[in-house]
Amino acid sequence: MVHSVEMLFDAETEAAVERIWHDMMALGIRSQAAHRSPSNRPHITVTVAEQMADTVDAALRPALARLPLECRIGAPMVFGVRSITLVRLVVPSAELLDLQADVHRICLAHMPDGPLAHTEPGQWTPHVTLARRMPPDQLPQALALPVGAEIRGRITGLRHWDGNTKVVHPIG
């Protein structure tokens, strides 16, 4: 499994994303709403590694001083071909990119094997996941959903997800 550090939204932003999840499910489109784990909530993954020491939690606390951070959740995007992940882009503002680089730098000392390449600053695509493992034939229907305008939101927290133990460590 993997470890990740994730940015969390305020309640209003989280609710706006969850409404999209539920609208998709109501139309029979698989979405994150089907994932019933208490740890499942809208987030932006900042960095990912095969291993991450628990000491990262304390090391990340100073990064909380940069929050809250305004954000914009924009257009839909697709990752994958046969098994699709449908996401919405989080518009990469200078402040968001700077926070990601800072969190990434802090985490490096706690990742014995280093990060996964797609989370390196300059390679990272900020996004919020709407659906994983979506069959390609559902994509046109999902993209036709009236997802509404850009969501203006706020990032208000950080957490460390330990995929080995399936435990969430809130930062702060």
Where residue 69 sits, what CATH number does that domain have? 3.90.1140.10
Q: Is the pTM of this model over 0.75?
A: yes
Q: How many domains does the chain have?
A: 1
User: What's the pLDDT tens digit per position in 82-126?
Assistant: 889 999 999 999 999 999 999 999 999 999 999 999 999 999 999
CA distance 28 to 144: 13
Boundaries of domain holding 34: 3-171
C-beta neighbour count of 91 within 10 angstroms: 14
CA distance 100 to 78: 21
pLDDT band at 141 (very low <50, low <70, confident <90, very high): confident
